[in-house]
């Protein structure tokens, strides 16, 4: 694809580190969006596999893609930092969304999410639902313990809806994931800078999750909470639609992506 460059409405930030096996699926899920007025800023966090070559290929195909390449990995540096901030420094969009390099958006993600912000000036952040893919044994444990409302369940996947923003459940039953959110770029002027590296209650949140994914820093939940407390409950909108494929470690990635228009 070779589009004439116009200032984007939405900036998509995608950090990546050594994802050569799955990165193309993530990038193509952005490029195949129904909504075209976006830029995709890929932050290569000093990958050592074939990731840079994949990024270069897509950058040549689509002028909406820009790349930041870190000379040192953000997690291996003497002082760790958040690579999404490296992309945000270049972002030009009025709205910002984030996609991890091992997940996928459904084709209507950007259009549906940006429409909420466009039509409701009081809304600062909108979040949607994810179709979460798990190894079979993990899915059984999740189904037995997850407190959120179950929207859909398949053989290897489930969708839960986070509908009520109960403050006492923040980081527990209320968790807004990176891939599910879009917010106004202007919030950074009000909440005191970009992403924090860690959630201040990281250990507490990790303990609630049973220490399953120790690499998670939970700074996506931190960003949501900072927006929530600065702008109020009414500034957050839940779009009750499934618009993300989220893959947990060990899940089956060989199947074709599923899009359920009715959910």
Residue with more model confidence, 249 or 212: 249
- Examine the pLDDT at 56 and tell me if it is beyond 90: yes
pLDDT band at residue 181, thresholds of 50, 70 and 90?
very high
Task: Tally Cβ neighbours within 10 Å of residue 121.
Answer: 8
Task: Give bridge partners of residue 12 from the DSSP assignment.
Answer: 40, 97
Q: Is residue 3 part of a domain?
A: no
Range of lowest pLDDT (83-92, 158-167, 228-237)? 158-167
Whole-number pLDDT of residue 2: 46
On whether the CB atoms of residues 12 and 39 are closer than 8 A, the answer is yes
Strand partners, 238: 127
Which residues sit opposite 95 in a β-bridge? 10, 184
Q: Give the tens place of pLDDT for each residue, 130-142.
A: 999 998 888 988 8
**What is the pairing mode between strands 38-44 and 149-153?**
unpaired
For the domain that residue 175 is a member of, what is the CATH number? 3.90.550.10
Number of domains in the chain: 1
Q: Residue 9 has what DSSP assignment?
A: S
Q: Please give the structure tokens belonging to residue 99.
A: 């996609």
Note the Cα 190 to chain centre separation in Å: 21
Summarize the confidence of residues 25-42 as an average pLDDT.
97
Say what the pLDDT of residue 215 is.
82
Q: At what angle do helices 51-61 and 23-31 cross, to 10 degrees?
A: 20
Residue 100 lies in a domain: yes
pLDDT of residue 149: 87
Range of the domain at 39: 10-247
pLDDT digits (tens, 9 = 90+) for 201-239: 999 999 887 667 778 899 999 999 999 999 999 999 999
Residue 37 inside a domain? The answer is: yes
Q: 71 pLDDT exceeds 50? A: yes
Q: How confident is the model at residue 148 (pLDDT cuts 50, 70, 90)?
A: confident
> What is the model's pLDDT at position 121?
98
5-19, 165-179, 244-258, range with the lowest pLDDT = 244-258
């Amino acid at each position: 694809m070779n589009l004439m460059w116009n200032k984007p409405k939405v900036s998509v930030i995608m950090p990546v580190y050594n994802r050569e096996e799955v990165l193309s699926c993530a990038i193509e899920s952005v490029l195949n969006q129904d909504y075209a007025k976006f830029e995709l800023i890929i932050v290569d966090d000093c990958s050592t596999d074939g990731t840079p070559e994949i990024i270069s290929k897509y950058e040549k195909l689509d002028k909406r893609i820009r790349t930041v390449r870190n000379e040192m990995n953000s997690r291996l540096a003497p002082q760790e930092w958040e690579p999404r901030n490296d992309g945000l420094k270049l972002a030009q969009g009025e709205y910002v969304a984030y996609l991890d390099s091992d997940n996928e958006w459904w084709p209507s993600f950007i259009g549906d999410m940006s429409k909420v912000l466009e039509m409701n000036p009081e809304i600062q952040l909108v979040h949607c639902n994810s179709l979460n893919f798990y190894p079979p044994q993990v899915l059984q444990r999740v189904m037995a313990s997850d407190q959120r409302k179950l929207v859909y369940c398949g053989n290897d996947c489930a969708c839960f809806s986070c509908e009520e923003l109960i403050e006492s459940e923040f980081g527990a039953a209320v968790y807004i994931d990176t891939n599910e959110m879009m917010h106004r770029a202007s919030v950074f002027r009000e909440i005191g800078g970009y992403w924090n590296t860690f959630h201040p209650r990281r250990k507490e949140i990790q303990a609630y999750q049973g220490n399953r994914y120790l690499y998670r820093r939970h700074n996506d939940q931190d960003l949501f909470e900072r927006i929530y407390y600065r702008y109020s409950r009414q500034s957050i909108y839940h779009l009750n639609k499934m618009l993300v494929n989220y893959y947990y470690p060990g899940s089956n990635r060989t199947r074709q992506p599923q899009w359920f228009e009715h959910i």
